A and B are shown apart, each in its own frame.
Chain A
Amino acid sequence: MRKMLAAVSRVLSGAAQKPASRVLVASRNFANDATFEIKKCDLHRLEEGPPVTTVLTREDGLKYYKMMQTVRRMELKADQLYKQKIIRGFCHLCDGQEACCVGLEAGINPTDHLITAYRAHGFTYTRGLPVREILAELTGRRGGCAKGKGGSMHMYARNFYGGNGIVGAQVPLGAGIALACKYNGKDEVCLTLYGDGAANQGQIFEAYNMAALWKLPCIFICENNRYGMGTSVERAAASTDYYKRGDFIPGLRVDGMDVLCVREATKFAAAHCRSGKGPILMELQTYRYHGHSMSDPGVSYRTREEIQEVRSKSDPIMLLKDRMVNSNLASVEELKEIDVEVRKEIEDAAQFATADPEPPLEELGYHIYSNDPPFEVRGANQWIKFKSVS
């Protein structure tokens, strides 16, 4: 009995001692930064590409790790909530592609602009929205970033233009944002993302032409996760060298599972655009663990072995963790603590997203137009009237 009490008290005091042990960890001698070699990028119409070595500081490393872990856990939580039918509709998860969203954000400034397609939860987070607003938007509650009216595919934040459901439609938009950047003269760039499936849409090529013609500071980014829904790239595209598809636009092919590679490539591309040379195309070779959406098991067009192989050899979080631990930038325990923190944050966010009330019914008619006097929305019959207020 005594021994048990002692054991219990040790456990409890262990919990209380956590701050003390964190101090202990921090006082361990970590390196401030480390230099890593990264994969060379394939180039198209470029004399030289991004550097093949990069310096990662401890601070940055921890930041990227936390961000990627948050995105991963957030997506897995969304998966769970979807299976519990708390999230309905469509839900496209990006776990496996964390290095893309975190790496891109690391290579640009918060004042730069970003637009992407429907696999947008990760970008919504890296562009600055808290997890609770993202999850609340997925569950369709008023605390969501689009007040519950957009859902999974329509999330927006400052300098983040969504979240677009129609495949390929966001690319001409991105070119337009780039035009505004050039016009405003504030040295900003626009990252315009699309997938390997969308790369075959006609409007993408229209956007390429305009961007190149007018030298717009637009970075076209093809997130190639090898499958357009259920169609592998070989069966959809005559040329799977997506970085070359811009033809007259210079391009580079980047290892999208390595956050440092993505970061360096983004910095390179942003510098290219900011110097007035016009658009540039980046192909990020990445992978998604989930199927196309929650209604796709993801194993009818690819083998479980393939998914397992990518998970064990190229998982972005694992790659960063290994690098940091092996070069003494962080310890395994420290990273585990970050994991625990992240888990808690996600749990709280999920709690909020489940408990928050749905938007009020009046909002069904809101924000159709921008108009001064609210007008009545024409509808089903003359008894239920909704006003459009903006």
Chain B
Amino acid sequence: MAAEAAAAGRLWLSACRAGGHWRRLCSAGLLRGFLQPASAVGDAARRRQLAHFTFQPDPEHQDYGQTQKMNLFQAVTSALDNSLAKDPTAVIFGEDVAFGGVFRCTVGLRDKYGKDRVFNTPLCEQGIVGFGIGIAVTGATAIAEIQFADYIFPAFDQIVNEAAKYRYRSGDLFNCGSLTIRSPWGCVGHGALYHSQSPEAFFAHCPGIKVVVPRSPFQAKGLLLSCIEDKNPCIFFEPKILYRAAVEQVPVEPYNIPLSQAEIIQEGSDVTLVAWGTQVHVIREVASMAQEKLGVSCEVIDLRTILPWDVDTVCKEECFLNLEAPISRVCGYDTPFPHIFEPFYIPDKWKCYDALRKMINY
């Protein structure tokens, strides 16, 4: 850390808005494949489709006991299982959670813990969150699921005006800290406008709640357990494209990863890359591309908690005085999340690499 601070200066690159898309393979360059006229069935089927990221698992953690190979949704199930076992007041509810959930995050929990602890709600997000706040206020642990982050907006009022302000407005007499809202998040390749959104920015300016986005199964379980145990209402966004694509060795026993702590995944001295969720894997690749092609050493940071975020890790003291180039943001366009144009909308590794290159040459 000291060595970095002493370095001549820092270049910043922050990549927001994680996503995934199925990019059609083409001979060279990203655009050419798409600008070809759409042709008959055979051609379309022949074009292979790749995600815009490669999941990079972390090395297995030894300090938490026995581990098991799990993907993201299994890690979430494991965390929920641990919570319900430890805390007799914990309940899980949401649309379709009883049979296991549309992404299989709650499989087996109803059978194990009973139908009064894992139950379905009708189709009403505002009702789900409001109801969850009520449970939490009495002291029980409420774990609500919003089926897609895109549907969280009817509940926005409840989250921002009720949940976030409860402790403050009652002078700490009451609080809904034992509420956790989980929601599948981010683009998935074919989600279009209403199954791909990343709404963490809407909540990022609301004091009173915490917003967390994991990048991998190991991170997800630890962060989710921390969110559930945290004495503040938390929103936990789970990158849906990683549910199956991300597989890692995850400890079976419960463990916590602290909130509001960013993680420096890779040390570097020239450029800082910050991202969260799926995008972390994109910028990891960008970092290795930069090292290989430009000889640039990148520091890769996973922000993990969006609110309250870890200012200290991300910008060291006086960093703004030492920046050698303006901070660059690489994210989706200022349009609604498109249907057919998704591959062009996503901040993939080429856009990030390009931004980095321009920054180096500033």
Q: A33 contacts the other chain (Cβ, under 8 Å)?
A: no
Q: B351 contacts the other chain (Cβ, under 8 Å)?
A: yes
Q: How far is the CA of A273 from the CA of B12 in the complex (A)?
A: 62
Q: B193 contacts the other chain (Cβ, under 8 Å)?
A: yes
Residues of A close to B122: CB separation below 8 A = 197, 200, 236-237
Q: A364 contacts the other chain (Cβ, under 8 Å)?
A: yes
Residues of B close to A197: CB separation below 8 A = 122-123
B52 CB to closest chain A CB, in angstroms? 12
A366 CB to closest chain B CB, in angstroms? 9
B35 CB to closest chain A CB, in angstroms? 7
Q: B124 contacts the other chain (Cβ, under 8 Å)?
A: yes
Residues of B close to A236: CB separation below 8 A = 120, 122-123
Q: How large is the interface on A (under 10, 10 to 19, 20 to 34, 35 or more residues)?
A: 35 or more
Query: Looking at the complex, which of B240-248, B312-320, B335-343 is the stretch in contact with chain A?
Result: B335-343
Residues of B close to A229: CB separation below 8 A = 95-96
Residues of A close to B31: CB separation below 8 A = 361
Q: How far is the CA of A64 from the CA of B99 in the complex (A)?
A: 40
A77 CB to closest chain B CB, in angstroms? 13
Q: Are A364 and B338 in contact (CB under 8 A)?
A: yes
Q: How large is the interface on B (under 10, 10 to 19, 20 to 34, 35 or more residues)?
A: 35 or more
Q: B192 contacts the other chain (Cβ, under 8 Å)?
A: yes
Q: A103 contacts the other chain (Cβ, under 8 Å)?
A: no
Residues of B close to A354: CB separation below 8 A = 38, 40-41
Q: A327 contacts the other chain (Cβ, under 8 Å)?
A: no
Q: B37 contacts the other chain (Cβ, under 8 Å)?
A: yes
A-side binding surface: helix, strand, loop or mixed?
loop
Q: B214 contacts the other chain (Cβ, under 8 Å)?
A: no
Q: Are A377 and B334 in contact (CB under 8 A)?
A: yes
Residues of B close to A383: CB separation below 8 A = 354, 358
Residues of B close to A361: CB separation below 8 A = 31, 34-35, 341, 344
Q: Are B190 and A89 in contact (CB under 8 A)?
A: yes
Residues of B close to A202: CB separation below 8 A = 124, 126-127, 154
Q: Which positions 48-95 of chain B face chain A at CB distance < 8 Å?
A: 95
Among residues of B, the one whose C-beta sits closest to the C-beta of A229 is B96
Q: Are B123 and A149 in contact (CB under 8 A)?
A: no
Per-residue interface assignment for chain B, residues 252 to 289, with 1 indicating a CB less than 8 Å from any chain A CB and 0 otherwise: 00000000000000000000000000000000000000
Q: Are A141 and B38 in contact (CB under 8 A)?
A: yes
Among residues of A, the one whose C-beta sits closest to the C-beta of B331 is A380
Q: A49 contacts the other chain (Cβ, under 8 Å)?
A: no
Among residues of B, the one whose C-beta sits closest to the C-beta of A197 is B123
A-B CB contact pairs (8 Å), 16 listed: A84-B45, A89-B190, A149-B340, A151-B340, A153-B192, A166-B151, A197-B122, A201-B123, A202-B154, A230-B99, A354-B41, A379-B332, A380-B333, A381-B354, A383-B354, A384-B351
On A, residues with C-beta under 8 Å from B are 84-86, 88-90, 140-141, 148-151, 153-154, 165-168, 197-198, 200-203, 228-231, 235-237, 300, 354-359, 361, 363-365, 368, 377-384, 386, 388
